[in-house]
Amino acid sequence: MRPTIMPRQRFLIAALGLLTLWRWALLPTLELAPDEALAVFRAKHGEWLSFSEIGPLVPLFARLGMAIGGAGEFGVRFFAPLLALAAVLLVWKLARELFDEQIAGWAVVIVNVLPGFNLAAVTLTPATCACVLVPAAALCVRRVLRQAECQRAWWWATGCVAGVGLAQPPASAMMAAVCCVFALPEPLRQHLRGPGFRKIMAVWTTVVLCWLGWQGGHGWPSFAAWQWLPEWRLIPNAVRWMVLASPLLLVLFVLAVRAGVAGGMLQSHRSLPLAMLLPLAVADFFYGPNECWPDTGGVVWMLFGAMLLAHRSTVARAAVIEQKISLRTVTLMFAALQSAFLLQTDLPRTLGLRWPFAHKTGPVTDWARTLSADPSGSVRGWRESAKVVSAVLEQAGGTGKWFVIADGWPLVAELDHYLGQAEKVQSALSDLSSFAGRSALFVTEERSAKGVPELLRKRFQRTELLSVVRVMHAGNEVRWLKIFACHDYRPPDF
């Protein structure tokens, strides 16, 4: 069996290399999503140590990528395909240690046709980092728990990887990964009483204290926002999973989990994939919908589902070999086609089909509107919007006298990136004391806005509506902007 497997592994390595090149080629085809623009915003203006929204790791990768590939979409996302490749190699390594090379190879194939993973592989979001950190933590956990006299370095490595993971959103999904340690079979739990586990707890405690300290110093933004509340609408949550995993693979994941639980897999030495999958999947089902497109949330559980499915499909004896091959081929082809659609959501319109529901809602920020809103709305139209704002700014007198205020952090981050100005785009809640005597353009996506917000309007002598902008893409409206002129900023009197 070994001589047959080795050529397959060589082919798999070559295929992964080509797939990484193809993903690099896709990077400039879509404008930056709000999360990616926020990463660039923080990297550009030195706001590194922030635990809100996207965490500190995504801006770091964005900054390094821009140093290599430039300030465009390619540079910002440069590390996304490399992180995806690292995630796949970690899955292969973990599956090979747990099972064998054949099952590891099938797990790699399943991971690379997952629509949610392919989306994370071409966009730089917290989900991209999670797809590397969680399998790395699982591999380290296996190393320290399977070796009777484990080296001290593996304990520290486990603590550091898991600690960095805890600093990344969604924190609930990352913290759920800790449950895997306690879900391991009884013979392995004796290591939890050893000195090595104290090293892991020391790192975890340090990260959690840093996170709490940052939150307390900034008014507890994560607790004030609605993202910490679970999403209880079960049908939209299930639709989201179908979009990210494809319906056929999702059904097979459920069947594989059911067979694993019924077969007592949690009590065996191969319990790690199932032990990781269960808490992560539960956390993602209820908290993943809170993430904005194209962040896939806690989709990392599907990587462990791929390992479990590869194992079950290889060892199951209910079907003959021909039926196994046919089922695998149909399932993987369907998932691959769905991945292509997810990566290029203008495909129906390219074929001449209109998206008739886009006018009913705004850009997709809630998975409950997946079937009614245009999926490409959140990553389309930002560059054109910035061009319009730049033209209005030049007509008003240029950046020397005027500055830009945007409503909401997504619009602030996108305009700051695509305007390409040295001066920072401000938010309505920013401290504007340094802009005394200057005028501003206030830009909002709120259709019902009849004027500048009252709190902001009081800071200027007078305001007026300058322009209403509709940004179209392939016959569909993707952006709606209102631009107001705010004349002569006056600092408030205290």
3-state secondary structure the chain: CHHHHHHHHHHHHHHHHHHHHHHHHHHHHCCCCHHHHHHHHHHHCCCCCCCCCCCCHHHHHHHHHHHHHCCCHHHHCCHHHHHHHHHHHHHHHHHHHHCCHHHHHHHHHHHHHCHHHHHHHCCCCHHHHHHHHHHHHHHHHHHHHHCCCCCHHHHHHHHHHHHHHHCCCCHHHHHHCCHHHHCCCHHHHHHHHCHHHHHHHHHHHHHHHHHHHHHHHCCCHHHHCHHHCCCCCHHHHHHHHHHHHCHHHHHHHHHHHHHHHHCCHHHCCCCHHHHHHHHHHHHHHHHHHHCCCCCCCCCCHHHHHHHHHHHHHHHCCCCCHHHHHHHHHHHHHHHHHHHHHHHCCCHHHHCCCCCCCHHHCCCCCCHHHCCCCCHHHHHCCHHHHHHHHHHHHHHHCCCCCEEEEECCHHHHHHHHHHHCCCCCCEECCCCCHHHCCCEEEEEECCCCCCCCCHHHHCCEEEEEEEEEEEEEECCEEEEEEEEEEEEEECCCCC
Determine, yes or no, domain membership for 93.
Answer: yes
Same structural domain, 238 and 187: yes
Determine, yes or no, domain membership for 494.
Answer: no
**pLDDT per residue as tens digits for the range 406-448:** 888 888 888 888 888 878 888 887 888 888 888 888 998 888 8
Residue whose pair of structure tokens reads 């691959």 in the numeric block: 336
**pLDDT per residue as tens digits for the range 309-323:** 888 877 765 555 555
Check pLDDT > 80 for residue 345. Answer: no
Same structural domain, 313 and 399: no
Q: Which of 149-158, 159-168, 364-373 has the highest mean pLDDT?
A: 159-168
- The dihedrals phi and psi of 268, each to the nearest 5 degrees, come to -105, 175
Q: Which of 89-93, 103-107, 179-183, 250-254 has the highest mean pLDDT?
A: 89-93
Among residues 316, 343, 370, the one where a domain terminates is 343
pLDDT of residue 76: 92
pLDDT of residue 476: 65
Which CA distances in Å does 9 have to 94, 108, 276, 288? 15, 10, 26, 34
Q: Which of 49-53, 90-94, 166-170, 343-347 has the highest mean pLDDT?
A: 90-94
Same structural domain, 310 and 415: no
Same structural domain, 405 and 274: no
Report d(CA 337, CA 278) in Å as an integer. Answer: 27
* Percent of the chain whose predicted confidence (pLDDT) is above 70: 73
Structural domain total, the chain: 2
Determine, yes or no, domain membership for 355.
Answer: no
Same structural domain, 319 and 432: no
Report d(CA 383, CA 380) in Å as an integer. Answer: 8
Same structural domain, 297 and 391: no
Q: 127, 106, 107, 126: which is closest to 117 by C-alpha?
A: 127
Same structural domain, 441 and 338: no
- The dihedrals phi and psi of 143, each to the nearest 5 degrees, come to -60, -45
Check pLDDT > 60 for residue 141. Answer: yes
- For residues 138 and 84, the model is more confident at 84
Determine, yes or no, domain membership for 364.
Answer: no
Tokens of 238: 């299930």
Determine, yes or no, domain membership for 350.
Answer: no
Check pLDDT > 90 for residue 90. Answer: yes
Q: Which of 44-58, 131-145, 189-203, 205-219 has the highest mean pLDDT?
A: 131-145
- Which band of pLDDT confidence, cut at 50, 70 and 90, is reported for residue 78? very high
Check pLDDT > 60 for residue 383. Answer: yes
Q: What is the 3-state secondary structure (H, E, C) of 297-344?
A: CCCCHHHHHHHHHHHHHHHCCCCCHHHHHHHHHHHHHHHHHHHHHHHC
Q: Report residue 254 CA to chain centroid gap.
A: 23
Same structural domain, 337 and 383: no
Same structural domain, 338 and 471: no
- Which band of pLDDT confidence, cut at 50, 70 and 90, is reported for residue 77? very high
Average pLDDT, the chain: 76
Check pLDDT > 80 for residue 336. Answer: no
Same structural domain, 293 and 177: yes
Tokens of 302: 């599907």
Report d(CA 246, CA 358) in Å as an integer. Answer: 23
- For residues 293 and 135, the model is more confident at 135
- The dihedrals phi and psi of 458, each to the nearest 5 degrees, come to -70, -15
Determine, yes or no, domain membership for 336.
Answer: yes
Same structural domain, 253 and 124: yes
* Structural domain boundaries, residue 438: 379-489
**The 402-406 sheet, strands edge to edge:** 426-427, 402-406, 439-444, 476-489, 460-473
**What number of CA atoms fall less than 13 Å from residue 399's CA on the CB side?**
12
pLDDT of residue 93: 92
Same structural domain, 166 and 24: yes
Determine, yes or no, domain membership for 137.
Answer: yes
Among residues 343, 364, 388, the one where a domain terminates is 343
Determine, yes or no, domain membership for 351.
Answer: no
pLDDT of residue 75: 92
